[in-house]
Structures are given as structure tokens and as C-alpha cells.
Amino acid sequence: MSRAFVKEADEELTSFREDLSHDKKTLEWIRIQEKKLDFLLNDPKGLAIESEKRERWIKEAREAIAEARGKQQ
């Protein structure tokens, strides 16, 4: 088997693994943002945060989640 062919296959596998790792990290980040959003919307401590700041954070979290999901697909 040609050495060039093996090297190309290794590079494709490496690229695939990097993509998979990136996807896993993105999913974990989305879960964290969803947890943050749930805290801001439902937790008594989250509800106690200054209204303007809390609404800004809610908006930012929703936008970040939507953007990350859009890039993931």
C-alpha cells in the first residue's frame, strides 16, 4: 500500500476526530448556557438579579444558544 495513501487516511481520521471533539465541546457549552438561562428564568436567586441586567443576560444567552446551534448543523 502506498505510504501517501496511508498518510492521507490518517489526516482524514485526525480531521474527523477534531471535528467530533469540537462538536462535543459545543454541545457541552450549549448545555451550560441552557442551565444559565434556566437559572435566570426560574431560580429565586436568578430572579433577584437586577431586572435590566437579568433581561440582558437572558437575551445574550438565548442568542448565544441559537448561534451555537446554527453553527453546529
pLDDT one-digit tens code per residue, 3-40: 555 566 678 888 888 989 999 999 999 999 999 999 99
pLDDT of residue 6: 58
Side-chain half-sphere CA neighbours of 14 within 13 A: 6
| pTM exceeding 0.85 | no
Q: Between 64 and 71, whose confidence is greater? A: 64
Task: Examine the pLDDT at 45 and tell me if it is beyond 60.
Answer: yes
Where do the structural domains in the chain lie, given as residue ranges? 3-72
Query: Three cell numbers at 15?
Result: 480531521
60-66, long-range: CB within 8 Å, 24+ apart, which pairs?
A: 61/33, 61/36, 61/37, 62/37, 64/33, 65/30, 65/33, 65/34, 65/37
Which residues 6+ apart lie within 8 Å of 27 measured at CB? 72
